[in-house]
Amino acid sequence: MTEESTNDEGLLHRASMRQAEAVDKATDKRRRRRAVAGLISTFVGALAVEYLRNAALFAALLASAIAIGTGLTTSRPGWPAALIAAGVVGIVVLLVALVRRWRPGAQWLVRLAVIATQVVLLVAES
């Protein structure tokens, strides 16, 4: 990752730094245990956010690829162009949001919208 991080990453980084500092400054065992517990919970939260972010991106890319594949193989009139266009547009929008480092909320919105759009089109086509 570059120095420019998204808002979520900045918040998680600052929270983990505060927790690590609390561990370093703990004077007795009780405070140290509480600080370590806080550090672990911050770490687990950061892992969960990153996992969900990557899972949503993968699901959106997969849904777009399935839409393109379905568009290439369908025999119903009108659907091939719609499915292929939706798949390509979905992939392009996902990559633009990722490369241009849109805000985390906007990235989540794009990912969920692409998944929903592809699912609706695939269900309507079948």
Find the mean pLDDT for residues 54-67.
95
Find the mean pLDDT for residues 27-46.
85
Mutual angle of helices 7-25 and 29-73, in 10-degree steps? 160
Asked if the model's pLDDT at residue 12 lies above 80, the reply is no
Find the mean pLDDT for residues 65-72.
94
Containing 76, the helix (H) or strand (E) segment is none
Stated pTM of the model:
0.74
Number of H helices, E strands in the chain: 4, 0
Two tokens, residue 41: 């919970």
pLDDT digits (tens, 9 = 90+) for 85-111: 999 999 999 999 989 988 888 999 999
Two tokens, residue 110: 């794009």
